[in-house]
Structure 1
């Protein structure tokens, strides 16, 4: 019988390129405990994925951390996460050390969960419980999103926050190519792809040099 993917397995998957300290492990475990506690009443994630949350949610999010470290020279990049839901990937990234994380989640119950996790794991993040369209724009270095919307829609939401060096990191599935083709009709961008370590069908997109087509 195959054992279930665990926090230990997550840490092993990130090593040796990214070290997870004992304190960080404890904070991730606390996050997972709160997710299990809130899930029955709040339906924060798809119920069928809770049994595999360390792989399906935590590792899927955490795999961005070493990539961001590798491909961003900023010591403390400003990160904007669109449609944060239960905190994946942004709250995981903040626990792993991304310093300036801003999370946008219009669902009030999910925003309350995010604030609870941030408080109980001593994680400094900014949470906006409003629609991204209603948020006053500010410059960000990284935009992230997971299971939220199409690439076209995400770029439309992200554009007011972008500057010349902004990178968009999107966790996508089997329709990534279809979404990129659609987005290319409206947006100029360079695209890099990385294999997902959490899902063989998944792909991580890094979009740069983003601008709308006139």
Structure 2
């Protein structure tokens, strides 16, 4: 039986894995602030569905997805669950500087049977991951995210950044420092928000 989450057709087993992940987040959130307490009652829609919609933008040939500021596993662990359910051979690297959150990510991945790599470092201190896809959710302004993407994407890679209602302002600000191609998709989970699919990132030529 096919079910849907974030616009993806998924199996019952995938839904069960996502529900198990949801329960883990709720259990750990009392000790570690993985998500805002205000969003706990709507965690499925606000965080899991919001993360799941990014999976549809995974390029067909991508083999390595790196998620920055992975925090509570959004979108990184959601992507890993969906990739497994879809039979995609996708390596997922979760970068998180907070040691407690990195511990949660490792233990959640183990509990869910996911093969992911958790890196407990600051993004700025890492050598290039040469990822096919990089993502970050609620981490930093777009110009800062493009700095990370320029370092950690392989040539021809794709950055996938969900952004809120002020995404057009962030795009304008980022273009002062960066040259890039962008496709903007409306968010399925938050009115006015968008998913930015960005490629060909280069520093803007200064006049």
TM-score (norm 1): 0.88
1:133-182 C-alpha deviation (Å, 9 max, x unpaired): 11121311111110000110011122112233111100100121111111
- Structure 1 Cα separation of the partners of residues 28 and 200 of structure 2: 39
CA offset digits 1:23-52 (Å, max 9, x no partner) = 212211111111111111111101100100
Give 1:201 deviation, angstroms: 2.2
- Runs of 4+ in structure 1 deviating by more than 6 angstroms, as ranges, are none
Q: Retained in 1: the 8 A contact 2:95–2:121?
A: yes
Alignment of 1:1-214 (within 5 A): 11-14=3-6, 18-68=8-58, 72-74=59-61, 76-97=62-83, 99-214=90-205
Gaps of 5+ in 2: none
Structure 1 gap segments, 5+ residues each:
1-10
**The residue matched to 2:31 in structure 1 has which SS?**
helix
SS in 1 for 2:160: strand
- Backbone CA RMSD of aligned residues: 1.3
Distance 1:20 1:56 in 2: 19
Contact 2:6 2:50 in 1 (8 A): no
Change (3 A) 1:94 1:13: closer
Q: Secondary structure at the match of 2:155?
A: coil
Return the alpha-carbon distance in structure 1 between the equivalents of residues 24 and 80 of structure 2. 16
Q: Deviations over 1:48-95 (max 9, x none)?
A: 001000100000000011222xxx130x42111111110101110001
Per the normalisation by structure 2, the TM-score is: 0.91
Offset, 1:19? 2.2
Aligned-partner SS, 1:61: helix
Q: State how many pairs are aligned.
A: 198
